[in-house]
Amino acid sequence: MKNKIFIAVLSLLSIININAQETLAQENKSAGEKKLYVKGNALLIPIAVINAGLEYQLNNKFTMQGDVLISPWKSFAGHEAQIYMGTIEGRYYFKEAFKGWHVGANVSVGAFILQKPQYWNQEGYYYNPKGFQTNYALSNLYQKGYAILLGVEGGYQFRLSENWNMDIFAGFGTSQDFYKGYDRVSGDRYDEATGWNKSGEIIPYRGGVMLSYRLK
């Protein structure tokens, strides 16, 4: 009888030990694995603007994301709206990577052909830097150039299913723009400058609802 009890105890301890080792191995595997998600901004799809990227886990709370934004509109509601931008962003998750609230910092570079909002349906003509009226209608003016942007973001990411996440985020920062101004009708450069015009402003330039699919 004693031998049977002894064998039963040894068997139970062996089972517990095996389960503990399996649990520990699984935890170590989970802690050591680096997840990778491919992402697409569902909020921009209805207006045919592409915003897609990859987010890679660096450790338990930090990730690195790279994404592109492409707005191909030569004319959107009568206004130039072409944007081609790439962004690198570092994120910190307060709970764990890909789960819960996060904040981040990013740098972006982009090229654009845009009509400034102040020229949308604006009546009248452009006045040059010397104060003289030109023949260029304000509603026909647009800008072409590139920008360097530095900013911060915040958001919340949560799990939809085993491999799918949703990431809701928004961000803003400084945009340093270098551009030349043109008249849509004649093709002339309306600003009469020989080099680049420069401007800087604080703007919201990131945001949306990213659907994410785990690749590994």
Q: What is the pLDDT of residues 83-124, one digit of tens each?
A: 999 999 999 999 999 999 999 999 999 999 999 888 888 889
Residue 73 or residue 29, greater confidence: 73
pLDDT band at 21 (very low <50, low <70, confident <90, very high): low
Q: What is the pLDDT of residues 153-178, one digit of tens each?
A: 999 999 999 999 999 999 999 999 99
Query: Token digits for 149?
Result: 């942007």
Q: Average of pLDDT values for 202-208?
A: 94
CB 190 within 8 A of CB 180: no
Q: What is the pLDDT of residues 44-77, one digit of tens each?
A: 999 999 999 999 999 999 999 999 999 999 988 8
Query: Token digits for 98?
Result: 């890909």
Helix or strand or coil: residue 199? strand
Helix or strand or coil: residue 123? coil
Q: What is the pLDDT of residues 174-193, one digit of tens each?
A: 999 999 999 999 999 988 77
CB atoms within 10 A of CB 203: 14
Residue in 87, 145, 88 with CA at minimum distance from that of residue 111: 145
- The pLDDT of residue 7: 56
What is the residue type of 210? Answer: M
The answer, yes or no, to whether residue 139 has pLDDT greater than 50, is: yes
Query: Token digits for 7?
Result: 């064998």
Distance CA 179, CA 18 (A): 67
Burial class for 93, CB neighbours closer than 10 Å (0-12, 13-18, 19+): buried
CB atoms within 10 A of CB 130: 6
Enter the DSSP assignment of 94: S
Q: Can you give the length of the chain in residues?
A: 216
CB 64 within 8 A of CB 39: no
Q: Which helix (H) or strand (E) holds 10?
A: helix 2-32
Distance CA 181, CA 187 (A): 10
- The pLDDT of residue 33: 79
Give CA separation, 21 vs 10, 16, 70, 148, in Å.
16, 9, 49, 51
- The pLDDT of residue 201: 92
- The pLDDT of residue 106: 97
Residue 160 φ/ψ, nearest 5 degrees: -100, -40
Q: Average of pLDDT values for 33-44?
A: 95
Distance CA 92, CA 212 (A): 17
Q: Average of pLDDT values for 18-25?
A: 49
Mean pLDDT of the chain: 87
